[in-house]
Amino acid sequence: MKTILLNGCSKSKLDKCDPAGDFYKGSMFKKSLAAARKHYPNAPIYVLSAEYGLVPINQVLCPYDETLNGKKADEIKNWSDKVIGQMKSIGIDPQNDTFIVFAGKNYRKYLPLSNATNMFDGCRGIGEILKKLNQLI
């Protein structure tokens, strides 16, 4: 059993290709990444990308304009199925591994992860999420 960190992508991105950890510019993304690295320094980090699915933090990404926000439930479920398939293909076990999730509800609500801690549970809106992240970092 491994601990896997999942960090949601952000709308704000660079206008050039760069590794995922540097590509997203949103404050929630940056603070989530800092909190993840501080509290789980040895755990692998993946980004939940609306465009690419499951992305290792060092994978180079190029600009895109896609989000799960505003998508229909079946579209989000299809995206979630893609992410689960990507996990399984690289040896991540959605049923037995432990997940620490720093992502909004659209990016996590249909992911069937048996052992997941959603870091934003209980937060009502971006303000509370950022406050929690500030406390974690």
pLDDT recorded at residue 124: 85
Domain that holds residue 78: 3-136
pLDDT recorded at residue 53: 96
pLDDT recorded at residue 110: 92
In tens, the pLDDT along 37-91 reads 999 999 999 999 999 999 999 999 999 988 888 899 999 999 999 999 999 999 9
Percent of the chain with pLDDT over 70: 100
Higher per-residue confidence, 34 vs 124? 34
Model confidence at 122: pLDDT above 90: no
Write out the two tokens for 16: 């050039």
Question: How far, in Å, are 54, 87, 122, 127 from residue 97 at the CA level?
Answer: 15, 11, 23, 30
Closest CA to 107 of 74, 126, 129, 79: 79
Write out the two tokens for 4: 């896997």
What's the whole-number average pLDDT of the chain? 92
CATH number of the domain residue 83 falls in? 3.40.50
Q: Are 39 and 26 in contact (CB under 8 A)?
A: no
Write out the two tokens for 74: 């079946």
pLDDT recorded at residue 84: 96
Contacts for 67-73 with beta carbons within 8 Å, 24 or more apart? 67/11, 68/106, 68/107, 69/104, 69/106, 71/106, 73/110
The confidence band for 127, taking pLDDT boundaries of 50, 70 and 90, is confident
Amino acid at 17: C
Number of domains into which the chain is organized = 1
